[in-house]
Amino acid sequence: MSSVLTPEQVLAHWQGHRRLTRRVIEAFPEDKFLSFSVGGLRPFAMQAMECLALAAPVARGVATGQWAEYTAPTTPDSKAALLALWDQATGEINAIWPTIPVHRFTDVDKAFGQWENTGIGSIQYAVDNEIHHRGQGYVYLRALGIEPPAFYDRS
């Protein structure tokens, strides 16, 4: 099979996006993070929690084949508490990654017991979903008169 991406590159790409999302979270004033909305969409805190509910659980599911049912996460009542969960997930994903047998990226599972996909497909879904919601966060920040962090900076 022709290879265009290694597991290490997939991790680096994902964690680069997660660093950018962390900066978007930090850019929100606390009260706006928890409550501001445009067009009836969820506040960014709830969107970020959805990303967290996929992140480490997806890495763990791909690594082990064991998936818990997806449950809508409870959003913490402060930015600091959410950022602590974010950093915890960063460490978990990094720790899980080297334990993923390479065949698990192409094995097909029912992710969270319901979404049939390859391992890499479930990971791509989590990353894409985060980029999608973060793009919405950029609109919220602009509507609040706040300059968002640069999209291309993943450092």
Helix axes 7-27, 119-143, angle to 10 degrees: 20
Residues 86-105 binding a copy of itself (CB under 8 A) are: 102, 105
Query: How far lies 22's CA from each of 7, 67, 68, 98, 137, in Å?
Result: 22, 26, 25, 23, 11
Phi, psi of 117 (to 5 degrees): -165, 160
147 binds a copy of itself (CB under 8 A): no
CB of 17 to a copy of itself, least distance (A): 7
Cβ–Cβ under 8 Å, residues 3 and 107: no
Asked if residue 81 binds a copy of itself (CB under 8 A), the reply is no
DSSP classification of residue 117: E
Using CB under 8 A as the binding rule, the residues of this chain from 102 to 141 that contact a copy of itself are 102, 105-106, 119-120, 124-125, 128-129, 131-136, 138-141
Contact status, residue 119 vs residue 107, Cβ threshold 8 Å: yes
150 touches a copy of itself (CB under 8 A) = no
Q: Which is nearer to a copy of itself, 56 or 123 (CB)?
A: 123
> Does residue 64 touch a copy of itself according to CB under 8 A?
no
36-44, 65-73, 78-86, 87-95 -> range binding a copy of itself (CB under 8 A):
36-44
At 71 the three-state DSSP class reads coil
Interacting residue ranges for a copy of itself, rule: CB under 8 A: 1-7, 9-10, 13, 17, 38-41, 102, 105-106, 119-120, 124-125, 128-129, 131-136, 138-145, 151-152
